[in-house]
Amino acid sequence: MFRATPSRMQLIRNSTFKGENMQKQILSVKDLDVKFNLRGRTLHAIRSLSVDVYRGETLAIVGESGSGKTVLNKNFIGLLDANGFIDGGEILYYGDHEVRDLAKFKGEKDWLGFRGREISMILQDPMTSLNPLKTIGSQIAEAVRVHQKLVGDDLKVAVHELLHEVGIENPEKRARQYPHEFSGGMRQRVVIAIAIACQPKILICDEPTTALDVTIQAQILNLLKELKKKLMLTIIFITHDLGVVANVADRVAVMYAGDIVEIGTAEEVFYDPRHPYTWALLSSLPQLGIKGEELYSIKGTPPNLFAPIVGDAFAPRNPQALEIDFLKEPPYFEVSPTHKAKTWLLDPRAPKVEPPEYIKNIRGMGRR
Amino acid sequence: MTMEERDVILSVRNLDVNFGSRRKPFRAVKNVSFDIYKGETFGLVGESGSGKTTIGRAILRIHPVSGGEILYKGERISGKISRELDRKVVSEIQMIFQDPMSSLNERAKVDYIVAEGTYNTKKHLSKRERALLVDQALLDVGLLPEFASRFPHEFSGGQRQRIGVARSLIMEPEFIVADEPISALDVSIRAQVLNLLSKLQKERGLTYLFIAHDLSVMRFISDRIAVISRGQLVELAPSEELFRAPLHPYTKALLSVVPQPDPESERGKKILVYDPSVHDYDEDPPVWEEVVPGHFVLGNQREMEGYRMEANR
């Protein structure tokens, strides 16, 4: 009886193998709540957030510091700080063989076989994510040994292959060197090599280029794109640099105060943004500024997440906020099948508010 | 062009800065020359390790100069200078640092951090007068005077950067070296700090040397931009001209990697890679020349012809 109908996962797998349906989720977050205990008070860092990550895409998550981008992603690899906990919701991971709810994982034992092998992460600062006392080779070997159970010469060869794969020349020699002998960009390549060592399905990149120069940044972004194609990775890209987002993202999620306020394809979010917070973020870009005039800046500070938030979290900082924004939280309004935003402005009863003038000519500005 | 008529506030002439032993020096800055006019924002762009910060620090007399000279208001301020001039330079030339998280003394309160410079240059001040100065400096950068009794860790990145600006303002500077002042900040706070800097410039006629690696910010804030590569200036032009008609291959490569918030053009974007071996400088060494008024470029005679044609097109 069970054999007659193929399981849900088999269906998904078959369709991905045919390549006809890339729009299947690999990760599905539903009404996730994450809280932190801080000095006897509770901070509500992620406020019933839902998002789907599709197989093979690059999803960029943008937002100010403190909006919860990193906290959200730490849930996916079980690295939430000790005082943080999931207070409801689920994180479904559609693996090759089964669907697992990461929100139900208890302790390190559950995570050990999962972290690195299914989902892996690259952190912002390549200077601090490597151990300065160990050679580059041994740090990569550690990841390969644990997950692929290789030893001796096989291990060495695998390490050299990984170094070669991330574009480090002369891997035999470089593997014997220490992190201080590498430049910032090269160190980030090593970190990427460690992250892909166990062939993960999802790679989370948390501000991987923020500490780097523009030239090196371009190289690292290209490397990530290449690896994505070669290893069929799904990438979640966290950044506050909208230029980088435009470069790498298939879809963009804008985060504010622990929730995603707008999500859509890169084109939709950049050329047709709907949420006032997205407008504000785009308007404050120096690239769009006119010399001699004041640059748009978002007034005020992000809301206090210790207190419950009433209405639209961005309303107090939004000069054009509607009355209802202070009373009731807006639901998602669909702009297109791939584009939705949480703002009352999209309600048919709302007055028509035009986005600011200067963000209308983003299209084509890269060529000017 | 009115450029010639403007006052030169700072002039760098054939500057060399070497590090390491005298026998085997590392030449961090090689033969760099430029003028900064009073009241303008002069941008200095380059990759890390190109020597841009070294130039800024040489101007502040933190690094000794190995060759050439630096003139401030016509007076030489590099090498050995008189005590009076040193005092003047210390208060009139100030610096804003990159990382607001590490450039403030964690164990000092804000009032001491902001007032520190005055303990040296304005010894006659009473406790009250000094406190008033601190309050005013904090107000000038958009912070509240009551913040003076707090410690740096109580502030956000943007507020810390404002404290960094306040402590240079208290010295009543005329010339500020801003070394990547917004690189470590968030997008929304970036805009606030940039606005603050340009407001202060308008109110007090400040001159900025703005050091950064991000060309997109430079275009917005700088009047003129100099591009530095491996310790040498390769190109110097008014900002808009540099973006419209870059001449040196290094500048072109640098411009090609600037990320723009435009997905369509980002996808079709061609990245140019700068290859220093395109220059043939063995027989025909490069010179620093003005190809059109206000637009300087580094090249040898053969390249210069090409640059001139390109610039006049």
Task: Locate the chain B residue with the closest alpha carbon to A245.
Answer: B261
Same domain, A211 and A341: no
> Is B259–A214 a contact, with Cβ atoms under 8 angstroms apart?
yes
Q: Does residue A53 register a pLDDT over 50?
A: yes
By the 8 A CB rule, do B189 and A298 touch?
Answer: no
A213 → closest Cβ in B48, B189, B271: B48
Indicate the SS3 state at residue B220.
helix
Same domain, A330 and A310: yes
> Is B221–A217 a contact, with Cβ atoms under 8 angstroms apart?
no
Split into its structural domains, chain A has a count of 2
ipTM exceeding 0.85? no
pLDDT score of A367: 60
By the 8 A CB rule, do B114 and B163 touch?
Answer: yes
> Is A270–B257 a contact, with Cβ atoms under 8 angstroms apart?
no
What value does the CA radius of gyration of chain B take, rounded to a whole number of Å?
21
Q: Does residue B170 register a pLDDT over 70?
A: yes
pLDDT band at B186 (very low <50, low <70, confident <90, very high): confident
Work out whether strand A25-38 and strand A90-94 pair parallel, antiparallel, or are unpaired.
antiparallel
pLDDT score of A39: 86
> Is A365–B265 a contact, with Cβ atoms under 8 angstroms apart?
yes
Same domain, A322 and A225: no
Work out the minimum CA distance from B85 to partner chain A, whole angstroms: 34
Closest CA to B225 of B212, B38, A290: B212
Does a structural domain hold residue A206?
yes
Question: How many contacts does A have with B, using Cβ atoms within 8 A?
Answer: 126
Mean pLDDT of chain A, nearest integer: 87
> Is B216–A280 a contact, with Cβ atoms under 8 angstroms apart?
no
B263 → closest Cβ in A216, A217, A266: A266
> Is A297–B192 a contact, with Cβ atoms under 8 angstroms apart?
yes
Same domain, A95 and A228: yes
In angstroms, the CA B157 to CA B182 distance is: 10
This model's pTM is above 0.90: no
pLDDT score of A263: 97
Split into its structural domains, chain B has a count of 1
> Is A295–B261 a contact, with Cβ atoms under 8 angstroms apart?
no
> Is A213–B258 a contact, with Cβ atoms under 8 angstroms apart?
no
Same domain, A66 and A195: yes
Same domain, A236 and A360: no
The CATH number of the domain holding residue B246 is: 3.40.50.300
> Is A247–B266 a contact, with Cβ atoms under 8 angstroms apart?
yes
Last residue of a domain, one of A225, A249, A273: A249
What value does the CA radius of gyration of chain A take, rounded to a whole number of Å?
22
Residue A202, judged by CB atoms within 10 A of its CB (0-12, 13-18, 19+), counts as: buried
The tokens describing B128, both together, are 């009250």
Does a structural domain hold residue A5?
no
**Residue numbers of the domain that contains A312:** 259-367
Q: Region A14-32: what's the mean pLDDT? A: 66
Q: Does residue A45 register a pLDDT over 90?
A: yes
Lowest average pLDDT, out of A63-77, A285-299, B55-69, goes to A285-299
CB atoms within 10 A of CB B4: 9
pLDDT score of A150: 83
pLDDT band at B4 (very low <50, low <70, confident <90, very high): low
Indicate the SS3 state at residue B184.
coil
Same domain, A266 and A354: yes
By the 8 A CB rule, do A91 and A101 touch?
Answer: yes
Q: pLDDT tens digits, residue range A203-239?
A: 999 988 887 888 888 899 999 999 999 999 999 999 8
The tokens describing A349, both together, are 């009863």
Q: Does residue A358 register a pLDDT over 80?
A: no
Q: CB under 8 Å, gap of 24 or more: what pairs does A164-173 form?
A: A165/A193, A165/A196, A165/A227, A165/A230, A166/A190, A166/A192, A166/A193, A166/A196, A166/A223, A166/A227, A167/A219, A167/A223, A168/A193
Torsions phi, psi of B43, nearest 5? -95, 140
pLDDT band at A10 (very low <50, low <70, confident <90, very high): very low
Same domain, A97 and A175: yes
Q: Region A61-81: what's the mean pLDDT? A: 90
Pick the more confident residue, A368 or A154.
Answer: A154
Q: Region A75-100: what's the mean pLDDT? A: 91
Work out the minimum CA distance from B174 to partner chain A, whole angstroms: 20
pLDDT score of B137: 93
Does a structural domain hold residue A254?
no
Work out the minimum CA distance from B156 to partner chain A, whole angstroms: 10
By the 8 A CB rule, do A76 and A103 touch?
Answer: no
What is the separation of C-alpha A353 from the centre of its chain, rounded to a whole number of angstroms? 30
By the 8 A CB rule, do A159 and A137 touch?
Answer: yes
pLDDT score of A267: 94
Q: Region A20-29: what's the mean pLDDT? A: 73
pLDDT band at A123 (very low <50, low <70, confident <90, very high): confident
Instruction: Say which DSSP state A37 is in.
Output: E
Work out the minimum CA distance from B101 to partner chain A, whole angstroms: 14
Pick the more confident residue, B228 or A22.
Answer: B228
pLDDT score of A315: 92
Same domain, A232 and A303: no
In angstroms, the CA A172 to CA A170 distance is: 6
**Residue numbers of the domain that contains B163:** 3-312
Q: Does residue A304 register a pLDDT over 70?
A: yes
Q: Region A95-121: what's the mean pLDDT? A: 89
The residue of B194, B208, B262 whose CB has the most chain A CBs within 10 angstroms, and thus the best one to mutate to test that interface, is B262
> Is B266–A367 a contact, with Cβ atoms under 8 angstroms apart?
no
pLDDT band at B67 (very low <50, low <70, confident <90, very high): very high
Does a structural domain hold residue A2?
no
H, E, C per residue of A116-134: CCCEEEECCCCCCCCCCCC
By the 8 A CB rule, do A332 and A342 touch?
Answer: yes
The contacts of residue A50 (CB under 8 Å, 6+ apart) are: A29, A30, A31, A32, A89, A260
Q: Give the neighbor-by-neighbor strand order of the sheet with B295-299.
A: B93-96, B175-179, B207-212, B41-45, B224-229, B232-238, B295-299, B287-292
B186 → closest Cβ in A216, A240, A282: A240
Q: pLDDT tens digits, residue range B250-288?
A: 999 999 888 888 888 888 788 888 888 888 888 888 999
pLDDT score of A96: 82
Q: Region A147-159: what's the mean pLDDT? A: 87
Task: Locate the chain B residue with the closest alpha carbon to A363.
Answer: B262
Work out the minimum CA distance from B239 to partner chain A, whole angstroms: 10
pLDDT band at A17 (very low <50, low <70, confident <90, very high): very low
Q: Does residue B52 register a pLDDT over 80?
A: yes
Last residue of a domain, one of A218, A249, A280: A249
pLDDT score of A284: 87
> Is B195–A287 a contact, with Cβ atoms under 8 angstroms apart?
no
The contacts of residue B241 (CB under 8 Å, 6+ apart) are: B294, B295
Does a structural domain hold residue A107?
yes
Last residue of a domain, one of A249, A274, A300: A249
Q: Does residue A21 register a pLDDT over 80?
A: no
Same domain, A96 and A234: yes
pLDDT score of A366: 63
Torsions phi, psi of B229, nearest 5? -140, 130
Pick the more confident residue, A361 or B302.
Answer: B302
Mean pLDDT of chain B, nearest integer: 90
Instruction: Please report where in the chains the tokens 């961005």 appear, as a residue.
Output: A314
Task: Locate the chain A residue with the closest alpha carbon to B217.
Answer: A286
The contacts of residue B291 (CB under 8 Å, 6+ apart) are: B247, B297, B304, B307, B308, B311
In angstroms, the CA B159 to CA B157 distance is: 5
All residues of chain B having their beta carbon less than 8 Å from the beta carbon of residue A218 are 257, 259, 271
Q: Does residue A130 register a pLDDT over 70?
A: yes
All residues of chain B having their beta carbon less than 8 Å from the beta carbon of residue A244 are 259
Work out the minimum CA distance from A292 to partner chain B, whole angstroms: 8
Same domain, A42 and A166: yes
Closest CA to B263 of A228, A269, A205: A269
> Is B220–A64 a contact, with Cβ atoms under 8 angstroms apart?
no
